[in-house]
Structures are given as structure tokens and as C-alpha cells.
Amino acid sequence: MKYISTRGEAPSLSFEDVILTGLAPDGGLYVPEQLPTFSQAEIASWVGLSYQQLAFKIIAPFVAGEISDSDLQAIIDKSYSGFRHDAIAPLVQTAHNEWILELFQGPTLAFKDFALQFLGNLLDHILKKRDQKVVVMGATSGDTGSAAIEGCRHCDNIDIFILHPHNRVSDVQRKQMTSVLTDNVHNIALKGNFDDCQNMLKASFGDQSFLPEGRQLVAVNSINWARIMAQIVYYFYAALALGGPARPISFSVPTGNFGDIFAGYLAKQMGLPIDQLVIATNANDILHRCISDNDHSKKELIHSLSPSMDIMVSSNFERLLFDLYDRDGSAIKQLMEDFKTGSMHLSDKALASARALFSSYRLDDEETIDVIREVFENDEYLLDPHTAIGLQAARKTRRNQDVPMVCLSTAHPAKFPEAVRKAGQDKDPALPHHMADLFEREERFEVLDKDLAAVQKFIASHVRA
């Protein structure tokens, strides 16, 4: 399968090259030239498959001709072997026809493990085959860093460097990253904020001459196509468990960079009957404003109790826009050019299509805390703040009570003790057993000034020969 850029001016690439490339040279994001589709009969025949078997069915067409069936199944099996629950993505019922899809059963307690365990194993496979070594460089405000490190720590051909803003990630998040002591894993605590980390990243991807001979950078943020692709699977998995495809299912998704919910949109395009797709945002609500008022304008970042959704601009939204504008790369290029001023407006047609596909809702911190408290008091089910936003958005926007509503639970509550305490819990939620000793583990990280040369020098000198 070939992959093309949303801005229409970059050469098309194979699957493996897309995974190693990140942003397209024209500034766009890569998407498949043609999305695979499945008939209702074919989807129905998958009832009862394990998560790993289903993942194979869905991912295989995307990698056809490049990765053999047996290699693909092995990559998938390895990626989900470290999950704590045999179902991988278990469903928990919270009300009549309302379900939570627990996507936090992976090694770092956030849904990002679904994509990053897979990406790590995929990179390992591709790099071994090519006898190539790469440097993974990423910036994190919390969950991405730990999931990327867990995904790459066992990869011989990868050295990974993760930048986080010094003293600005939670203790659980920092410990999860910095207590991985293998010699290909490096954490940099930058004396600055998350934006500073991202700027370092951008500059380094733009000019990679600081790297040792023969090395290139690979991106693991959510613009990496493999991450989106791996996330399509759990939409099918949940729908099949709840009577799909014979009946439609709705999903509500706590949304930041638009990667997770975009995978849901793709599932629908590939043939899965999905009724509603709900974009749930915190006070950083650019997507909610866009869908409800055609107001896609940058606003100052608000630090919320759901920090993994604290974004000013959702990068994967461009992939949706590409489809809404009938895959016209020049239209997207123009739109993104307009957006440099800080805002853009969708055409009437694009807005109408977006509204037909998505509902949206926004919650502030106070409302989020109320939801966590209320659901715990009624059901003794403890939500993390991101999931709470998703659940409430589902309840507020739901059109049809007969259609099962699935809320994606993106993190375990133990990752976000501050919100949980504010919701009236008198103890921090317990970490799962495999992490109970997290706070006793030894840490290693390098504190560096907000100085590009210093960061690049650190990286260059720690890449293994």
C-alpha cells in the first residue's frame, strides 16, 4: 500500500518508509492512498477472535507486500503480551447500554501503550531487516514518554531520548520514565516548559546533522501513522463484543491531538457501523469550538486536571480535513497557510460533513471533578479525569439510548491522583501490583538548560556505536 501526504506535494511512500519518516517533506501528514474496507459479512465472521487475531485482520491490508503474515502476527502477539488483562481491552458496564472500554491495562497505564508497544516492535522488525540503527527522539508532557520508552526499551537498533519539562510532569509519570535503566534509554529534564521541549524536537528533526554518521531521527508522537493504525483495532473489538456489526455502536473519546478518535473515524470508513463519534475535550476546546461554531482558533494553553489533553492545536485534525476536502492537497495547504494567522474557517460543505460525523462536548476542571465524584458514589467505579470527560460528554450528547455507547478509558486513575483527591477520595488510588514499588525504584535523568546545542551534544554523545 502507498501512503500520500495531506498537502499533496510530497512523493508517496511505502508503509515502512512512512513509519521511519514522520512529517512529510511538504509539512503534511501521511495517510493511506486508499483505505481498506471490509464487508459486513467479513466483519461478522470475526466474532469471538482474540484481540491479537482481530488486530491481524485489521492491520494486514495496511502492510501488505512489506511484512509477511507470520511476522505481523508475531509483532502483534509480542506487543500485547505485557497487558495485565487477558481481554487486552476489557469492557465494563456503567449504566444501561453504556460501557467503559478500559484501555489502560498496558505497562504504563494509559491507552498509548496500544500504539507504542506495537510501534516499538514494528520498528525493531523493520530496522533488523534493513540492518539499520535509528535514534528515537520525543517530547512529552506525561503519558507519551513512558509509553514510548516501554515500547522501545528492548529494541537493539534504537537509542531513545525523551525530553520532559523539568519539575512539570507528575511524580508517577516521571518515575515511569526515569526508572527504566537500560543503556539505550535516556531522559532529559529540560529547564523549560513543554513548548520548549517541542521546539527542541522540531529544530532537531529539521537539521539532523548533529547525529553520528548514518543515524536518523524517528518520531513517535501521534502523527506517526503506525500509532493511528494500531488504534483502529479496539473500535472493532468493542463493537464485536457488543453485537456489532449487526447493530451500530457509538463511541465517546477523550481527545487531545485527535489521534485516538481519528482511528474511530477510520474504523467507520472501513465498514464498521458506528452511529455517534463524540469528541470530548477539556477547557482546551479548539475541536469543540470548531465543530459547534466553526471557530478553529488558537487560544492560550490552560493547564487542566486532564493534562494529556492540554493542547492548543490538534495535529491529526489535518488528516480528517484532507477527507472533508475530498482529498484535495492544495486546499489543505491553503487552509494550513491561513491557520498560521491563528485561526481558520471550514467551508460550509466541510463543516456540514464534520457535524454529520462528530458530536462534541467540553468540560472544565470543576465539572470533571463532579463527574468523578458522582460516578464513584453511584457505582464505586473510579474514573481518571480524562475518562470522566469522555463519559460525561457521552451522556450529554447521546442521541439514541438503544445504541450501545462505549466510552474509551484512556488512563488508570492512579496516574492522576490530584484529580482523584479533589473528587473526594481520601487516599491516592493504588497503583497496580506490577508497579506497587514504583516510588522505591532508582531513577536516572539528565537535567539540561534550554539550549539546543547542549541537548544535541548530550544526544550525540550517548548514541551507542
Ligand X SMILES: *Cc1c(COP(=O)(O)O)cnc(C)c1O
Give the residue with the Cβ less far from ligand X, 67 or 261.
261
Does position 115 interact with ligand X (CB under 6 A)? The reply is: no
Give the residue with the Cβ less far from ligand X, 137 or 263.
263
Does position 386 interact with ligand X (CB under 6 A)? The reply is: yes
Q: Are 312 and 298 within 8 A, CB to CB?
A: yes
Exposure string over 396-419, b if 16+ CB within 10 A, otherwise e = ebbeeeebbbbbbbbbbbbbbbeb
Q: Which window, 46-54, 152-160, 256-264, 428-436, contacts ligand X (CB under 6 A)?
A: 256-264
Least distance to ligand X from the beta carbon of 359, Å? 16
Contacts of residue 326, Cβ cutoff 8 Å, sequence gap at least 6? none
Q: Are 320 and 290 within 8 A, CB to CB?
A: no
Does position 391 interact with ligand X (CB under 6 A)? The reply is: no
At 204, list the grid cell.
Answer: 532537531
Q: Are 314 and 354 within 8 A, CB to CB?
A: no
Least distance to ligand X from the beta carbon of 145, Å? 10
At 100, list the grid cell.
Answer: 467503559
Give the residue with the Cβ less far from ligand X, 157 or 221.
221
Q: Is 133 marked active-site?
A: no
- What mask, x for binding ligand X by CB under 6 A, covers residues 146 to 185? ----------------------------------------
Distance CA 397, CA 328 (A): 31
Q: Exactly one of 80, 194, 237, 258 binds ligand X (CB under 6 A); which one?
A: 258
Going along 236-286, which residue ranges are E strands?
249-254, 274-281
Q: What is the DSSP string of 364-414?
A: -HHHHHHHHHHHHHHH--PPPHHHHHHHHHHHHH---TTS-EEEEE-B-GG
Give the residue with the Cβ less far from ligand X, 324 or 459.
324
Q: Exactly one of 79, 94, 257, 456 binds ligand X (CB under 6 A); which one?
A: 257
Distance CA 227, CA 144 (A): 11
Query: Which of 2, 57, 112, 349 does the annotation list as catalytic?
Result: 112
Subset of 202-241 contacting ligand X (CB under 6 A): 222
Does position 112 interact with ligand X (CB under 6 A)? The reply is: yes
At 258, list the grid cell.
Answer: 485527535
Least distance to ligand X from the beta carbon of 453, Å? 30
Q: What is the DSSP string of 252-266?
A: EEE-SSSHHHHHHHH
Least distance to ligand X from the beta carbon of 162, Å? 14
Q: How far is CA 326 from CA 329, 331, 349, in A?
A: 9, 9, 10
* Run of H or E residues at 457: helix 452-462
Q: Are 28 and 8 within 8 A, CB to CB?
A: yes
At 89, list the grid cell.
Answer: 481491552
Least distance to ligand X from the beta carbon of 449, Å? 28
Does position 143 interact with ligand X (CB under 6 A)? The reply is: yes
Q: Which window, 257-265, 324-332, 348-356, 419-427, contacts ligand X (CB under 6 A)?
A: 257-265
Least distance to ligand X from the beta carbon of 228, Å? 9
Give the residue with the Cβ less far from ligand X, 6 or 257.
257
Total binding residues for ligand X by CB under 6 A? Answer: 16
Least distance to ligand X from the beta carbon of 42, Å? 27
Give the residue with the Cβ less far from ligand X, 67 or 147.
147
Q: Are 215 and 133 within 8 A, CB to CB?
A: yes
Q: Exactly one of 90, 259, 329, 404 binds ligand X (CB under 6 A); which one?
A: 259
Q: Exactly one of 178, 308, 360, 368 binds ligand X (CB under 6 A); which one?
A: 308
Question: Hey, which residues are catalytic here?
Answer: 112
User: Which residues of this chain interact with ligand X, rule CB under 6 A?
Assistant: 110, 112, 143, 222, 254-260, 308-309, 386, 410-411
